[in-house]
Amino acid sequence: MMKHFFIFCLILVSFSSFSQTIEGIWETYDYETGELESDVKLYIKEGRLYGKIIKYHNADETKKNKKCALCNDYRKNQTVLGMIFLNGLKPSGKEWTGEEVLLDPDNGKEYDGKVWLVNDDKLALRGYLGWLYQTHYWTRKK
């Protein structure tokens, strides 16, 4: 009996070790064209989720060097590439959520948001403006 229990525990641990974490490098896509846009690094620090753009795809020098001129906090005039734009989401079940946690560097505004894994290789990011929302889907970089 104990032998069967031990084998069951080993199988359970091996299956759980294959499940993916939200941390890693994710590819983002233009919402309108579907074209590959950037690589974003998501990481957890002190129990909260953060994200920053680490690479642009198909971008000219102007976009690569763009600064957040309209930001109102410590990110003002920071280069968007490398800047934390997903800031301190808290775990809530299978999602990560927060108020004023998603920065749009084009207008300097912060939106409420949530992030969750659709599956191991697909992530959903949703930003809210009141009752309105927009969802973007990212894929895990291989």
The tens digit of pLDDT for each residue in 70-109 reads 999 999 999 999 999 999 999 999 999 999 999 999 999 9
The tokens for 20 are 């993916």
> Where residue 18 falls among pLDDT bands split at 50, 70, 90?
very low
Q: Across all residues in the chain, what is the average pLDDT?
A: 87
Pairwise pLDDT comparison (40 vs 17), residue with the higher score: 40
Q: Would the pLDDT of 123 be above 80?
A: yes
Q: Which among 91, 92, 74 has a CA at the least distance from the CA of 83?
A: 74
At the topology level, CATH places domain 22-140 in: Lipocalin (2.40.128)
- Residue 7, pLDDT > 50, answer no
* This prediction's pTM: 0.82
Q: Are 126 and 135 in contact (CB under 8 A)?
A: yes
SS3 107: coil
Q: Which helix (H) or strand (E) holds 10?
A: helix 2-17
**For residue 17, is pLDDT > 50?**
no
What span, in angstroms and rounded, lies between the C-alpha atoms of 8 and 2? Answer: 10
Taking Cα atoms as reference points, which of 65, 67, 61 lies closest to residue 108?
A: 67
Binning pLDDT at 50, 70 and 90, where does residue 59 land?
confident
Q: Which residues, in sequence order, are bridge partners of residue 113? A: 98, 127
Hey, what amino acid is at 50? Y
Task: Report d(CA 54, CA 139) in Å as an integer.
Answer: 15
Q: Is the pLDDT of residue 111 over 60?
A: yes
Q: What type of residue sits at position 136?
A: H
Structure-block tokens of residue 124: 């959903």
